[in-house]
């Protein structure tokens, strides 16, 4: 089966169309309008999932790359959309998360649903999908901004004091990172005369080392700050616990991973030599990110703050995969990268499930406070929610047979195989500390004595529709652990495609008609 | 020569933006961000105006025999057009956020914790927490949700 490349536009166009049409309903806040918006969001996310699975089938199972030259403008001149295994995997995971979050929002969302929550969610989806498909640096920037703009509004939707404060920090730090990104795009265009990734990969080889170091360093800063890498992660714990739990869940699952995706895409393609030379730097950043995240999680005291810090420590594992990508593995070429991709898959699913479950507990109890006297005894009150939280938490900590165990084992194997003892030791230590932190969450929040609810009566009962999406995600996580060979095979295909630079350049086929701008004008 | 002028301009703008961003005052911070985005726009713009050239418009493609290398590159201008729109939108949103922050009653407690990313929740008293969640409850909405299906229209 060979599908038309025009399908590549669908993940961007579908959310855009549905978001725009549901904005037309937003004349005034009433129940009927909310229902229409909700149904439109549900339809759009299911359609998007279908398209993502189609792309996944073509790129991963059939091992192909898909390229769309918009308006038939050849590569360096027009807008290019490219999908390979990594993009398709990310698109599919995003689509799965989006369906579950729309369901979860039906169960948990309050008045904020009337403030155009669903159109914003669809704009976020559009930005994320576009970033995964973008084939040039400037479009990557634009889609980053689309998703950031939607996330700014989602984060501060409601305008509580905490949200406004967290939102300010989030907006300022992300705008700075975007500006660094745009500066890099300007420097690249001014010196190499192109922005297309495949074309850049060709031209960067001949560029002087200083230029390569400047561009790679600035991109590392820009993406690292979006991904929440050490030492640029402070915006994340400052803001992620403030919005509605449904918003936190989708942010925790998606946003930092877009930065990680950009690193996975840019570094092996454009800077293969720097990826090798900077291995100690990348592994150092990875180790410090893991440690900072896990120690931060021990210092804070509400469910969502703890989970936000764990996002940071988990992002460290993914960068560890990238750092190990360049080393000569005996297991398979690019096994480190494949382990990193598998880790992303596991993390997106499990982290969203955890944030959803924690958020549901927080909403019913009226607080997420872990100190003595607030939460406690949730096992007896909501046994099903507690069971799901337990499974997700222990998947995050890496207990077999969950996906967390397999993904951590893969990274550890890759580290030992390339004889990086330090990072292997750090990853084991952080794994242990994560387990401790999860046990603390369990003991303080779910096990133990029941306290009187902080609020006189539970404000938000836990409906079946709140639990169902969390259950879906937990089942996917367990499935990824039990049938891990299939998923590892897929990540290996994706990793091979990422590392195969010649194949990417050939698929996009940039014509080299325009001379690079000379460096001496 | 003109490249040097642009370089100095960009440097001055970025320097002042950094200075403003490091201030505690949020209004100065917003102005700093505005300057910063303008500096970057200028940087992107400078990649196309290094020499005096012709507009890149060809009326009659068949009869054209001029020198393409004299054309000014139009792409950076398209790029900054996009970038200007984006940065304008974000700065406008930031100002709205700032306005909301100033109009909130609890300005004091906001500024106290503004620069501390590790700030804990203040010891939540029952009333405070309840008040925080009061807003989530909309009695009218709940009543409407409870109505039997047939009667809602």
Q: Over the stretch B98-135, which tens digit does the pLDDT of each residue have?
A: 888 777 754 445 444 444 433 434 434 344 444 444 44
Q: What is the DSSP string of A101-115?
A: HHHHHHHH--GGGGT
Say yes or no for a CB contact (<8 Å) between A175 and B94.
Answer: yes
Residue pairs spanning A and B at CB distance below 8 A = 136
Q: Tokens standing for A502?
A: 């010649």
Bigger pLDDT: A388 or A450?
A388
> What is the pTM assigned to this prediction?
0.87
Q: Which of B22, B44, B84, B95 to mutate to test the interface with A (most CBs of A within 10 A)?
A: B44
CA-to-CA separations, A93 to A99, A421, A509, in angstroms, rounded: 10, 32, 28
ipTM above 0.90, yes or no: no
Task: For residue A513, give the nearest of A80, A186, A199, A198 by alpha carbon.
Answer: A199
Q: Over the stretch A14-58, which tens digit does the pLDDT of each residue have?
A: 999 999 988 887 666 666 777 888 888 899 999 999 999 999 988
Q: What is the mean pLDDT of residues A185-199?
A: 87
Q: Tokens standing for A293?
A: 């995240």
Per DSSP, helices labelled H in A300-420 are: 303-325, 335-365, 378-381, 383-397, 403-417
Q: Does B72 touch chain A (CB under 8 A)?
A: no
Confidence grade of residue A518 (pLDDT, cut at 50, 70, 90): very low
Q: Over the stretch A470-483, which tens digit does the pLDDT of each residue have?
A: 999 999 988 888 88
Res A453 pLDDT > 70:
no
Residues of chain B above pLDDT 90, percent: 16
Confidence grade of residue A73 (pLDDT, cut at 50, 70, 90): confident
Sort out which chain A residues have CB atoms less than 8 A from B144's CB and list them: 31
Q: Tokens standing for A428?
A: 């084991």
Give contacts of B 46-65 with A, CB under 8 A.
46-47, 50-51
CA–CA min distance A246, chain B (Å): 14
Sort out which chain A residues have CB atoms less than 8 A from B38's CB and list them: none
Mean pLDDT (chain A, rounded): 85
Q: Does B16 touch chain A (CB under 8 A)?
A: no
Selection from A5-9, A150-154, A157-161, A332-336 with the highest mean pLDDT: A150-154
Confidence grade of residue A519 (pLDDT, cut at 50, 70, 90): very low
Q: Output b/e per residue, A243-274; b: 16+ Cβ within 10 A.
A: bbbbbbbbbbbbbbbbbbbbbbbbbbbbbbeb
Give the three-class secondary structure for A130: helix
> Residue A184: its pLDDT value, please?
92
Nearby residues of A383 by Cβ (< 8 Å), 6 or more positions away: none
Say yes or no for a CB contact (<8 Å) between A300 and B120.
Answer: yes
Out of A296, A302, A521, the one facing B51 most closely (by C-beta) is: A521
The residue in chain B having the minimum alpha-carbon distance to the alpha carbon of residue A364 is B133
Structural contact between residues A327 and A473, judged by C-beta atoms closer than 8 angstroms? no
Alpha-carbon span A158 to A261, nearest angstrom: 30
The residue in chain A having the minimum alpha-carbon distance to the alpha carbon of residue B48 is A190
Nearby residues of A461 by Cβ (< 8 Å), 6 or more positions away: A364
Selection from A58-72, A283-297, A442-456, B96-110 with the highest mean pLDDT: A283-297
Sort out which chain A residues have CB atoms less than 8 A from B83's CB and list them: 141, 182
For chain B, give me the number of helices (H) and strands (E)? Answer: 6, 0
Say yes or no for a CB contact (<8 Å) between B33 and A367.
Answer: no
Q: Over the stretch B4-38, which tens digit does the pLDDT of each residue have?
A: 888 899 999 999 999 998 887 888 888 999 999 99
Say yes or no for a CB contact (<8 Å) between A176 and B135.
Answer: no
Out of B97, B130, B152, the one facing A156 most closely (by C-beta) is: B97
Alpha-carbon span B144 to A31, nearest angstrom: 8
The residue in chain B having the minimum alpha-carbon distance to the alpha carbon of residue A241 is B121
Sort out which chain B residues have CB atoms less than 8 A from A242's CB and list them: none
Out of B97, B113, B136, the one facing A111 most closely (by C-beta) is: B136
CA–CA min distance B12, chain A (Å): 15
Q: Does B67 touch chain A (CB under 8 A)?
A: no
Question: A221: exposed, middle or buried (C-beta count within 10 Å: 0-12, 13-18, 19+)?
Answer: middle
Q: Does B2 touch chain A (CB under 8 A)?
A: no
Q: Does B130 touch chain A (CB under 8 A)?
A: yes
Say yes or no for a CB contact (<8 Å) between B110 and A156.
Answer: no
Q: Which helix (H) or strand (E) holds A497?
A: helix A484-499
Give the three-class secondary structure for A515: coil
> Residue B8: its pLDDT value, please?
93
Say yes or no for a CB contact (<8 Å) between B29 and A234.
Answer: no
Sign of torsion, CA A280 A283 A287 A292? positive
């Amino acid at each position: 089966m060979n599908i038309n490349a025009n399908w590549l536009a669908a993940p961007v166009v579908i959310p855009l169309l549905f978001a725009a049409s549901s904005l037309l309903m937003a004349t005034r806040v009433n129940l009927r309008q909310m229902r229409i918006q909700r149904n439109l969001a549900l339809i759009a996310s299911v359609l998007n999932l279908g398209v993502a699975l189609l792309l996944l089938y073509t790129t991963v199972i059939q091992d192909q790359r898909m390229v769309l030259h918009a308006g038939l403008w050849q590569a360096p001149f027009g807008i290019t959309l490219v999908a390979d295994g990594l993009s398709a995997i990310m698109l599919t995971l995003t689509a799965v998360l989006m369906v579950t979050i729309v369901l979860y929002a039906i169960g948990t969302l309050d008045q904020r649903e009337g403030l155009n929550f669903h159109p914003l969610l669809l704009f976020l989806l559009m930005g994320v999908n576009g970033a995964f498909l973008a084939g040039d640096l400037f479009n990557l920037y634009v889609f980053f901004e689309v998703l950031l703009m939607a996330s700014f509004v989602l984060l501060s939707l409601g305008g509580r004091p905490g949200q406004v404060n967290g939102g300010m920090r989030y907006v300022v730090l992300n705008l700075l990172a975007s500006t660094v990104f745009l500066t890099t795009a300007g420097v690249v265009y001014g010196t190499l005369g192109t922005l297309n990734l495949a074309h850049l990969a060709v031209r960067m080889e001949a560029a002087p080392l200083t230029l390569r170091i400047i561009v790679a360093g600035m991109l590392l800063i820009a993406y690292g700050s979006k991904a929440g890498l050490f030492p640029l992660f402070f915006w994340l714990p400052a803001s992620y616990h403030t919005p509605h739990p449904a918003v936190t869940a989708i942010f925790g699952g998606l946003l930092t991973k877009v930065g990680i995706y950009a690193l996975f895409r840019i570094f092996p393609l454009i800077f293969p030599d720097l990826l090798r030379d900077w291995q100690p730097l990348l592994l150092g950043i990875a180790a410090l990110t893991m440690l900072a995240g896990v120690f931060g999680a021990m210092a804070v005291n509400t469910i969502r703050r703890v989970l936000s810090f764990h996002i940071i420590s988990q992002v460290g594992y993914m960068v560890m995969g990238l750092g190990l990508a360049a080393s000569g593995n005996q297991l398979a070429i690019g096994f480190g990268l494949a382990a990193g991709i598998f880790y992303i898959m596991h993390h997106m699913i499990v982290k969203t499930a955890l944030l959803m479950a924690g958020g549901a507990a927080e909403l019913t109890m009226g607080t997420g406070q872990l100190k003595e006297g607030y939460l406690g005894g949730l096992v007896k009150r909501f046994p099903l929610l507690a069971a799901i939280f337990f499974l997700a938490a222990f998947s995050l900590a890496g207990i077999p047979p969950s996906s967390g165990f397999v993904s951590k084992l893969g990274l550890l194997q890759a580290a030992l195989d390339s004889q990086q003892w330090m990072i292997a030791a750090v990853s084991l230590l952080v794994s242990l500390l994560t387990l401790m932190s999860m046990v603390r969450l369990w003991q303080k929040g779910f096990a133990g004595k029941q306290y009187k609810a902080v609020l006189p009566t539970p404000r938000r009962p836990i409906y079946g529709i709140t639990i169902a999406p969390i259950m879906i995600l937990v089942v996917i996580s367990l499935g990824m652990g039990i049938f891990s060979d299939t998923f590892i095979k897929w990540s290996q295909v994706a990793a091979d495609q990422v590392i195969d630079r010649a194949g990417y350049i050939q698929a996009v086929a940039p014509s080299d008609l325009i001379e690079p701008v000379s460096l001496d004008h | 020569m003109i490249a040097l002028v642009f370089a100095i301009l960009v440097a001055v703008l970025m320097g002042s933006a950094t200075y403003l961003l490091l201030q505690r005052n949020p209004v100065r911070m917003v102005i700093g961000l505005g300057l910063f985005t303008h500096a970057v726009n200028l940087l992107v713009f400078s990649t196309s105006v290094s020499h005096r050239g012709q507009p890149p418009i060809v009326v009659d493609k068949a009869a054209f025999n001029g020198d393409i290398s004299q054309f000014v590159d139009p792409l950076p201008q398209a790029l900054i057009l996009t970038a200007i729109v984006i940065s304008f939108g974000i700065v406008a949103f930031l100002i709205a956020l700032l306005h909301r922050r100033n109009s909130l009653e609890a300005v004091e407690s906001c500024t106290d914790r503004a620069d501390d990313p590790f700030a804990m929740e203040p010891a939540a008293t029952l009333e405070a927490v309840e008040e925080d969640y009061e807003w989530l409850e909309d009695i009218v909405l709940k009543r409407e949700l409870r109505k039997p299906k047939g009667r809602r229209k």
